[in-house]
Copies of this chain bind each other. A is one copy, B any other.
């Protein structure tokens, strides 16, 4: 499927509601579950998504749009904001607020095809287009929802007994 801004925005807009529906007031053992010692819990993933709203997607898109001669992105710290003393409910609300603002910013730019072809420089990947950045934002959202629900599924690997045989997600080794 080719990237299309009018199809991508509806996914970006939905993510806060999906996460709140899934995680708000959920028993803590689910929010704190993890696939392995170095894997992220659902709660930590919410922190990671908040950090992305602040430092990754829109700030990088701004660098691209500006088209200055130096347009290398700041490296994204994948491990920032994982931990927090604030309740999960408050962090879900913060993510919702940040995402709303960022989607409003994105809409306000009214990007055309030629804007989607503009490039910035990723610190590891080299030249990337606005289109690739925005597609990655979408993939990042839905793959973290997949990670959260997979993490939750795997908590019951033993509990399902013989049904393990029917769920590949309970069988394979998962690394963070």
Q: Chain A: residues with CB nearer than 8 A to chain B?
A: 1-3, 6-7, 10-11, 14, 17-18, 20-22, 25-27, 29-30, 33, 122, 125-126, 128-129, 131-132, 135-136, 138-140, 142-143, 145-147, 149-150, 152-153, 155-156, 158-163, 165, 167, 169-170
Contact = CB atoms under 8 A, between A and B. Distances in A.
B7 A14 contact: no
Question: Which 3 A-B pairs give the minimum distances between C-beta atoms?
Answer: A135-B159, A132-B161, A17-B21
Contact of A29 (B7, B18, B135, B155): B7
B143 A160 contact: no
Contacts of A142: 149-150, 152-153
Nearest to A161: B132
B146 A153 contact: yes
A95 to B, nearest CB: 13
Nearest to A155: B1
30 contacts: A1-B29, A1-B33, A1-B156, A1-B159, A2-B158, A7-B27, A7-B30, A18-B22, A21-B21, A22-B145, A122-B162, A125-B163, A125-B165, A129-B161, A132-B159, A132-B160, A135-B156, A135-B160, A136-B160, A138-B153, A138-B156, A139-B153, A139-B163, A139-B169, A140-B167, A142-B150, A142-B152, A143-B167, A145-B145, A146-B149
